[in-house]
Amino acid sequence: MFNKYNKNNKNKTSWLFWIILWLTFTFIVFLISLPKIKQSIIDSNIMSLMENYKNQEKPSKTREITLFYIQKTEGSLILQPVFTNIPKYGGSTYQDAIEALIAGPSSELEKEGFISLFPSKTTLIGSTLSDGIYFIDLSKQFDKLNNANRALCISQIEKTIKLINSDIQDIRISVK
């Protein structure tokens, strides 16, 4: 029994010895190689690249654009171009512009008499540009508008989109 215990202990000691030896060897190789590794990093110019990346400006979460908003003046409604910042919703410039029109003017613009005629909860379902025609799908809430307000909203979208890209020949809006 004593012999068996001694044999297991000797086996454990042997493994422990080899592990310590391997770790010591690895550490020595690392210490010897460290100056060369450091010089390689300096020569590669990676540190300046990392510094440049760190100091890089973050992409803007807004875009500057001219939108046609509806302004209420002396009892009439007119379309006015307004240069403004709008959020980047993640789509194209066209889609972001339509989303901003649907969301309505900012509180600062509202103080100047700008309003939104889009019914609440109206959303842009999708849009596609194909062969010079821009197709726009809006949610069914858009159908709640009377004819005059609907025409103003459509004109608002058309003027804004054609200002972004004058090569667009036609804009077709459908409600789904």
Residues 128 and 95 sit within 8 Å (Cβ to Cβ): no
- Positive/negative CA dihedral, 33, 38, 44, 47: positive
- One domain, residues 75 and 51: no
152 or 46, greater pLDDT: 152
Q: How many residues does the chain have?
A: 176
Domain housing 154: 62-175
| Domains of the chain: total | 2
- One domain, residues 44 and 92: no
- One domain, residues 164 and 109: yes
Residues 100 and 86 sit within 8 Å (Cβ to Cβ): yes
- One domain, residues 87 and 170: yes
User: Model confidence over 118-152: pLDDT tens digits?
Assistant: 999 999 999 999 999 999 999 999 999 999 999 99
175 or 55, greater pLDDT: 175
Query: What pLDDT, on the 0 to 100 scale, is given for residue 147?
Result: 92
- One domain, residues 112 and 169: yes
- One domain, residues 155 and 132: yes
Does residue 59 surpass a pLDDT of 80?
Answer: no
**Looking at residues 75-97, what average pLDDT do you find?**
90
- One domain, residues 124 and 98: yes
- One domain, residues 105 and 133: yes
> In this prediction, what percent of the chain has a pLDDT beyond 90?
62
- One domain, residues 115 and 170: yes
Mean pLDDT of the residues in the chain: 88
- One domain, residues 81 and 40: no
- One domain, residues 74 and 120: yes
Which residues neighbour 150 within 8 Å (Cβ) at sequence distance 6 or greater? 142
The full 3-state SS of the chain, as one line of letters, equals CHHHHHHHHHHHHHHHHHHHHHHHHHHHHHHHHHHHHHHHHHHHCHHHHHHHHHHCCCCCCEEEEEEEEEEEECCEEEEEEEEEEEECCCCCHHHHHHHHHHHCCCHHHHHCCEECCCCCCCCEEEEEEECCEEEEEECHHHHHCCHHHHHHHHHHHHHHHHHHCCCCCEEEEEEC
- One domain, residues 160 and 109: yes
What single-letter amino acid sits at 72?
A: K
Query: What pLDDT, on the 0 to 100 scale, is given for residue 160?
Result: 96
